[in-house]
């Protein structure tokens, strides 16, 4: 009786695994099945490996030869190919914020990221920081990029974006000044908060001049003047606007000067909006009471008011000739007394056209 028949078995399929896998773990790479022999029992296959280098330091090709031998030294062999690859990039072990909101001047430093790789000891890290800042006062972004790779060229990119808001911390206010005040007003008095006095002032609206931060409102045109303060910070620039409104509330008129009193020369109440009324002006802020009398050429009084309000347009109410509601066209004479002014009465002719 002889035994010349080799045993039989089925080898595991060829397989590709990552480099961090234990290739001796048969639950991963596979084990033989269907071991059988015509005479022997309880046979157990064994294997031997031959390792060849792969395409990069962490890759290889394992030729695994499986052998099954019976009690009479009849042997059967099968070959399994195990391809070890590295397709996984390094990962960071540092927690960090992907997006950050920051105020200009309080931008956090870039974090120090640490990385690890399943197979490579040599990890290449390239860090780059770019910014959309263009030197203006507009908000901008800082983009921080870490590019990490292993010995097999597997690469991963990690990014952190910092959204930067331009905030000078300056609080601006507006004010009113009078053109009768001859003094230097310091524009910095309109600013509060985080102020760097090393910046520059400029006028952006209004015909005026400034000396550094000093503005003199004396004898300027009435209206609103706009000023801009620039902090001249190249890394964190800001512009702050303030307004000064000039009025003439403090101006004292020359109420005792007869030359300031303006009296109408003519009244033509024809609805064209010109010379519609007999007016006494130039004394509006003086507080005087106007006492008015108007006479025709014969000396008859045709109008009188002890508190005249610039509202006579040629109507008659006493000794008039012609139409009952309007005096005839012609030359008339007025006497004006400015009560409590200390001025002598004013008298003169006034032409009235009612046709």
Q: Report the pLDDT value the prediction gives residue 256, as an integer from 0 to 100.
A: 72
Give the end of a domain, one of 165, 194, 217.
Answer: 165
In a domain, 216, yes or no: yes
253, part of any domain: no
> What domain count does the chain have?
4
Tell me if residue 77 falls in helix, strand or coil: strand
* 252 part of a folded domain: no
Residues 76 and 126 in one domain: no
Tell me which of 134, 165, 196 is where a domain ends. Answer: 165
The pLDDT confidence band at residue 84, using thresholds 50, 70 and 90, is very high
Integer Cα distance of 288 and 286 in angstroms: 6
Rounded Cα distance, 20 and 84, in Å: 9
Classify residue 47 as exposed, middle or buried by CB count within 10 Å of its CB (0-12, 13-18, 19+).
buried
Q: Tell me: do 318 and 268 sit in the same domain.
A: yes
- pLDDT given at position 124: 97
Residue 315 CA: distances (Å) to CA of 181, 224, 269, 276, 350 = 45, 43, 10, 12, 14
Question: Partners of 201 in the beta sheet?
Answer: 229
339 phi and psi, to 5 degrees?
-65, 135
Q: Is 312 inside a domain boundary?
A: yes
Report yes or no on 295 lying in a domain.
Answer: yes
Shared domain check, 343 and 279: yes
331 belongs to a structural domain:
yes
Task: State the pLDDT at residue 234.
Answer: 80
Judgement on whether residues 186 and 151 belong to the same structural domain of the protein: no
Q: Is the same domain home to 308 and 265?
A: yes
Task: Say which residue, 46 or 3, is predicted with more confidence.
Answer: 46
Question: The pTM is what?
Answer: 0.59
Beta sheet of 239-247, edge-to-edge order:
175-178, 239-247, 223-230, 200-205
The pLDDT confidence band at residue 136, using thresholds 50, 70 and 90, is confident
Who's near 101: CB < 8 A, 6+ residues apart?
Answer: 162, 163, 165
The per-residue pLDDT for range 282-333, each reduced to its tens digit, is 888 888 899 999 999 999 999 999 999 999 998 876 544 444 578 899 999 9
| 66 in any annotated domain | yes
Both 104 and 155 in one domain: the answer is yes
- Secondary element (H or E) of residue 29: helix 26-29
CATH number at residue 180: 2.60.40.10
> Of 124, 142, 165, at which residue does a domain stop?
165
Ordered DSSP codes for 20-42: TS-TT-HHHH---EEEE-SS--S
pLDDT at 227: 98
For residues 214 and 279, state if they share a domain. no
For the beta carbon of residue 299, count every other beta carbon within 10 angstroms: 8
Domain assignment of residue 229, given as a range? 170-247
- For 19-33, what is each residue's pLDDT tens digit? 999 999 999 999 999
Collapsing DSSP to helix, strand or coil, 18 comes out as strand
Local confidence band at 251 (pLDDT 50, 70, 90 cut-offs): low
- Euclidean distance between CA atoms 336 and 347, whole angstroms: 6
Locate 132 and state its tokens: 């959309």
Is 3 a member of any domain?
Answer: no
Residues 175 and 137 in one domain: no
Please indicate, yes or no, whether residues 179 and 109 belong to a single structural domain of this protein. no
């Amino acid at each position: 009786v002889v035994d010349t028949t080799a045993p039989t078995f089925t080898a595991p399929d060829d397989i590709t695994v990552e480099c961090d896998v234990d290739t001796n773990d048969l639950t991963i790479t596979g084990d033989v099945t269907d071991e059988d022999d015509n005479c022997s029992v309880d046979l157990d296959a064994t294997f031997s490996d031959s390792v060849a280098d792969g395409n990069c330091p962490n890759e290889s090709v394992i030729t695994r030869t499986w052998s099954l031998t019976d009690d009479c030294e009849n042997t059967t062999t099968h070959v399994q190919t195990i391809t070890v690859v590295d397709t996984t990039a390094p990962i960071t072990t540092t927690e960090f914020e992907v997006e950050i909101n920051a105020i200009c001047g309080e931008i956090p430093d870039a974090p120090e990221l640490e990385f690890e790789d399943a197979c490579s000891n040599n990890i290449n890290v390239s860090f780059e920081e770019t910014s959309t800042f263009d030197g203006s006062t507009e908000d901008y972004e800082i983009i921080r990029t870490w590019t990490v790779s292993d010995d097999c060229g597997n690469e991963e990119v990690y990014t952190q974006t910092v959204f930067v808001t331009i905030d000078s911390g300056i609080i601006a206010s507006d004010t009113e000044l009078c053109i009768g005040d001859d003094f230097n007003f310091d524009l910095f008095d309109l600013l509060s908060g985080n102020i760097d006095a090393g910046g520059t002032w400029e006028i952006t609206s209004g015909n005026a001049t400034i000396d550094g931060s000093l503005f003199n409102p004396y004898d300027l045109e009435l209206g609103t003047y706009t000023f801009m303060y620039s902090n001249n910070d190249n890394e964190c620039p800001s512009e702050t606007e303030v307004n000064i409104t000039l009025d003439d509330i403090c101006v004292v008129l020359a109420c005792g000067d007869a030359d300031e009193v303006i009296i109408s020369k003519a009244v033509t109440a024809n609805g064209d909006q010109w010379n519609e009324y007999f007016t006494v002006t130039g004394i509006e802020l003086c507080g005087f009471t106007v006492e008015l009398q108007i006479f025709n050429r014969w000396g008859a009084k045709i109008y009188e008011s002890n508190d005249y309000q610039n509202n006579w347009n040629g109507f008659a109410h006493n000794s008039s000739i012609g139409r009952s509601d309007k005096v005839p066209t012609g030359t008339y004479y007025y006497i004006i007394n400015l009560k409590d002014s200390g001025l002598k009465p004013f008298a003169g002719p006034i032409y009235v056209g009612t046709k």
